[in-house]
Amino acid sequence: MGVKLDTGKWYPVYTNPRAEKKAYQSLINKGVEAYLPLQRQLKKWSDRKKWVEEPFIKSYLFVHIKEHEQTEVLMTKGIARFLYFGGRITAMPDRQIEQLKLLIASPFELEVTEENLQPGEKIIIKAGPLKGMTGEIISYRSQKQLALRLESLGCTIIVHVAASIIDRF
């Protein structure tokens, strides 16, 4: 029987407001594996427009650590706390982080909502850059869209995809 090595888990971390990028950089400088999903947005000021990279999920980033490294993460400037569920620190499945990375890299229009959308029909994407990703169909703003529910964060990512590239399962 083989020995299972503890390679760590992904944990969502809540940051201080507008401190996601600095906290992420501080974690990287400490040698902590971290992931901060960013999305390009066109910002408008009264005198100019500029493309900037903004955190995709406000006040969150993700760390891949072993349990004994949690204190080091909490001692990082900009980190507020871990997320708890049932009195324990919440870990996320590797699969959800991989899906999040795939979504961020995709050309699809994305939206994050904290609305508690009702579960619908389970589907799988059968073509394109998101091939193999599973989710559920939701009716949202009178359009059919794919919802990837991140239970541990209490939010849903809505992806606008063509009906022709999805299948039921």
- Of the residues 92, 109, 129, the one at which a domain ends: 92
Tens of pLDDT, residue by residue, the chain (169 residues) = 555 556 899 999 999 999 999 999 999 999 999 999 998 888 888 898 888 899 999 999 999 999 999 999 999 999 999 998 888 899 998 988 998 898 888 887 787 877 666 667 787 788 777 788 888 777 655 455 677 776 667 788 888 776 667 777 7
Report yes or no on 14 lying in a domain. Answer: yes
Within this chain, do residues 33 and 103 fall inside the same structural domain, yes or no? no
Report yes or no on 2 lying in a domain. Answer: no
User: Could you give the CA distance from residue 48 to residue 93 in angstroms, rounded to a whole number?
Assistant: 41
* pTM passes above 0.85: no
Provide the number of structural domains found in the chain.
2
| DSSP single-letter state for residue 36 | -
Within this chain, do residues 28 and 62 fall inside the same structural domain, yes or no? yes
Closest CA to 111 of 153, 152, 142, 140: 140
Reduced to 3 states (helix: H, G, I; strand: E, B; else coil), residue 94 is helix
User: Could you give the CA distance from residue 23 to residue 34 in angstroms, rounded to a whole number?
Assistant: 10
Within this chain, do residues 60 and 25 fall inside the same structural domain, yes or no? yes
Report yes or no on 4 lying in a domain. Answer: no
* Tokens at 137, concatenated: 């169909």
Enclosing domain of residue 30: 9-92
| DSSP single-letter state for residue 118 | P
